[in-house]
Structure 1
Amino acid sequence: MASAAAEATGAPPTAEDAIEKSKTDVQQIDPYNVSGGVDEHGNAKAIDYDRLIEEFGVQPLTEEHLKRFEQVTGKKPHRLMRRKLFFSHRDFDKILDFYEKHGKFMLYTGRGPSSGSMHIGHTVPFLFTKEIQEMFDVPLVIMLTDDEKYLYTRNKNNGTQKKGATAEDFLKFAHENIKDIIALGFDPKKTFIFTDYEYIGGHFYRNTSEFESLVTMNQARGAFGFGDSTSIGLIAYGAKQCVAAFPSSYPELFGYKDFRPPDFDPSAIRRHKELSKIPCLIPCAIDQEPYFRVLRDRCERMTDPHPKTCLILSKFLTALQGPGGKMSASDSNSAIFMSDKPNEIKNKINKHAFSGGRESLEEHRKFGGNPDVDVAYTYLSYFLEDDEELADLEQRYRSGELLTGEMKARCIKELQKFVADFQERREKVNWEIMRSYMNPRKLEFQGNPNPTQPQAPAASETNGEKEDGAADGDKSGGKDGRGTKGERKAAKLAEKKAEKLAQRQKPADEGAAQ
């Protein structure tokens, strides 16, 4: 809001006005803000991804990475990689090397549940992650950050809790979003989905507590833009999202014991060192990168050091109104929601989708359209699988042969089919199916069937759980036929117990014989 001084005729802007104006003029990308800024005329500017690569210190995804991906997997890279919509990374080449040599890694991604239905922009990282999981045959963890959304919303409202924005409301949103995610087709045998409010405890919370001790207030300010009025809950939250990338936060998924009620198995008090050796790949949008920049700086300082987390980062699916931001769950006309009906999709695209066409038919035929800013073409680049058809649409649009209405019609047809197929699957996801994905259990995955340097089998690859001593101390896995260290120890204890019992029973037995 402008100050009284600035409203006076001829008065220069105050320092506060200048600061506020600079915030909107410049590009701002972080976990809580996504904006390309505005130009001198007040129009939204497209996000400069080349600048983000430089500012965040990430690496661009190159053709060499795509060739390496195909060499390791034997499969064509996903369309979102081919089209550089997943455009940058941190150590993606290293995760490929590890998989080729040792055969496995963990996938992790997430969703902040801000409404009861996801929109098509939310599906992008999940569609990509699903394909990556299938190609590599690795375990996947999906985190629903219901607690963060509650904390952020209340903080945004200056500490006031508004109707429809309680912790319980965000948990309900999380459950509905989980059903949406399941409807995208994830394999239940190797996928674990959780909400923070329901799952955090045990070894996960042990990792969280330790990670919180490694991050200072100044570092949180720098990474996330927090100020003096930010709640302590939101400041502390980041540690949870960071340690969610540690396989050691989920021992049960790998066949180990967790230290949780009601069992509290003493053998699971300490965290499992073997799990800290498994690397993690996170597919996510670029706005989440600051979390994992903090993580990468500290993951090797944990009690059980973890390898630096690897990232592959996507662009944002632009809002219907065009470049400069991303779809918003709070603005129904900015996005195509997965709950929209066919006519709603048609009307939104026709009425609100920013066009790269010319002002008149004559000018469009003469000069052609601009698919680089055309929202209908942009959406097709994310959801249309056929590379040749997409290239044809682009060429015909640039030449003026294809009109804006025709581009929109093709986009409407593709999105209607995508959303209708999704809704058909979504209707079948009931409470029981949802809870089956949320049940902590040993996941079933194979990884690389022919690693060049296979590691010793983990608990998930053997029959039953390892004893605690075997999990970290005995690396042989009982290959010499004597069993693991834990098994040998248990056998000796059982033998001694049997001997004592036999000695106590002997006099009674002798008396009976007489």
Structure 2
Amino acid sequence: MSDETITVLTGDRPTGPLHLGHYAGSLAQRVEMQKGDGRIFIMVADSQAYTDNIGDTSKVSAAIPELVADYVACGLDVERCTIFLQSAVPELAELTQLFMNLTSVTRLQRNPTIRDEIKKRGFENSLPMGFLSYPVAQAADILGFRATHVPVGGDQLPMIELAVETASKINRLAGRAILPEPTVVLSRVERLPGVDGKAKASKSLGNAVFLSDSPAEVKRRVQMMFTDPDHLKVSDPGKVEGNVVFSYLDAFMTDRERLADMQAHYRRGGLGDGSVKKELVAVLEELLAPMRERRPDPVAGRDFCLQVLREGSVVARDVVAGVLSEVRAGLGVLTL
């Protein structure tokens, strides 16, 4: 598919700073994709964040400009990408309402990502309707821009499946192709572990290396990383599999030949955990140092970040309004 036909929709919930798991998962892909001629829409998903943070909206509000700052820091160009605020595009809410009539509660309850998130948040006995239905809103976000490509991690595949199903239903009811069925763009790194080795890197768990971390904090977090508990002496053979430090080296080390040599050396013995962690600190600093330079000032840059959202939301709203109009016409919805 040529760049001219590509439209990308992706985004993040503003619930805290982004970390290396986000960068490996889709941010790096976005930076690469912006070099083409397709259109890239990046959504600050505040409406989605309210599905489980409605009692603490100040947390979401504070995180919105910080998220844009993370985007700029990691190399996203506001001249090449349309960065917008989800709630500033109310047409997405109307699309969501229409799409809800095409999706059963049972279908949502079968979604494995939803099941896992319900358990994680303790919603088994008090499930907010907004949370249960957020996959429908996500389908509206994707289809509202006629997105052809959606960069996601493997755990988001069930969400994209629902978007494909919804597009197919709309096109069938309309009797013509109104919405494209989006294609998933999976990252090379499917799941980056947390520094504690117990779960994937997570904002809520705080077990991650954040894009905004200082050099001292990066070093501290690397020192916390789980390695091989049986690698007691430098001379002992060690396991690379399940070793958090090597997982991060595999994700971010660009010298693949050197990485292969290190892995072989560690496996046969003679390479200490301290040396491996020192190498990882150097690799991460090479990645994060330019991000610190690009990051807008926390105070003066806040107005810049909000202005980026205002301008992007105007563009986004115009696009979604056109799609909504076609969907309404295709479904035979009366428009006054």
1:132 counterpart residue number: 33
Taking the aligned partners of 2:315 and 2:83, their CA distance within structure 1 comes to 13
Aligned residue for 2:2?
99
What is the SS of the residue equivalent to 1:245? Answer: helix
Matched, 1:391 2:260: yes
Q: Deviations over 1:60-92 (max 9, x none)?
A: xxxxxxxxxxxxxxxxxxxxxxxxxxxxxxxxx
Q: Is 1:243 the equivalent of 2:143?
A: no
Which of 220, 227, 249 does residue 355 from structure 1 map onto? 227
Q: Is the 2:222–2:281 Cα contact (8 Å) retained in structure 1? A: yes
Give 1:233's aligned residue.
130
Of structures 1 and 2, the larger Rg is shown by 1
Q: Which AA in structure 2 matches 1:308?
A: E
Aligned pair partner of 1:201 in 83, 87, 90: 90
Q: What CA deviation, in whole Å up to 9, does each residue of 1:269-297 have, x standing for no partner?
A: xxxxxxx5xx5111111222221111111
* Distance of 1:325 and 1:392 partners within structure 2: 27
The percent identity for this pair of structures is 23
Distance 1:437 1:192 in 2: 8
Q: Is the 8 A contact 1:119 1:329 kept in 2?
A: yes
Q: Does 1:119 align with 2:19?
A: yes
SS in structure 2 at match of 1:188: coil
The answer to whether the 8 A contact 1:357-1:404 is kept is no
- Contact 1:142-1:193 within 8 A present in 2 as well: yes
Please identify, of 205-214 and 400-409, the stretch whose mean Cα deviation from structure 2 is larger.
205-214
Structure 2 matches for 1:7-18, cutoff 5 A?
A: none
> Is 2:41 the partner of 1:144?
no
Shift of 1:191: 0.7
Q: How far apart in 2 are the matches of 1:309 and 1:399?
A: 46
Secondary structure at 1:378's aligned position in 2? helix
Aligned to 2:304: 433
Worse overlay, 228-237 or 432-441: 432-441
Q: Which amino acid aligns with 1:180?
A: D
Structure 1 partner of 2:201: 327
Please tell me whether the aligned partners of residues 121 and 316 of structure 1 are also in contact (alpha carbons under 8 angstroms). Answer: yes
Q: Which runs of 5+ in 2 are unaligned?
A: 119-123, 320-324, 330-336
SS at match of 1:395: helix
Residues 339-348 or 376-385, more deviating: 339-348
Equivalent position SS for 1:406: helix
Q: 1:310 to 1:235 in 2, by over 3 A?
A: same
Higher relative contact order (CA 8 A, sep 6+): 2
For residues 168 and 90 of structure 2, the distance between their equivalents in structure 1, rounded to whole angstroms, comes to 22
The residue type equivalent to 1:420 in the other structure is A
Deviation at 1:143, TM superposition (A): 1.7
User: TM-score scaled by structure 2?
Assistant: 0.79
**Shift in Å, 1:432:** 4.5
- Is 2:171 aligned against 1:300? no
Distance 1:232 1:338 in 2: 33
Question: SS where residue 107 of structure 1 aligns?
Answer: strand
Partner Cα separation in structure 1 for residue 90 and residue 315 of structure 2: 18
Q: Deviation of residue 353 (structure 1)? A: 0.5
1:442 Cα offset (Å): 6.0
Residue 79 of structure 2 aligns to a residue whose secondary structure is helix
Q: How far apart, in 2, do the equivalents of 1:419 and 1:144 lie? A: 22
Instruction: Please report the RMSD computed on the Cα atoms of aligned residues, expressed in angstroms.
Output: 2.8
Cα distance in structure 1, aligned partners of 2:19 and 2:315: 31
Q: CA deviation at 1:145?
A: 2.0
CA distance in 2, matches of 1:235, 1:358: 43
Mapped to 1, the partners of 2:307 and 2:75 lie a distance apart of: 14
Aligned length: 300
Report deviation, 1:190. Answer: 2.5
**Contact 1:171 / 1:195 at 8 angstroms: preserved in 2?**
no
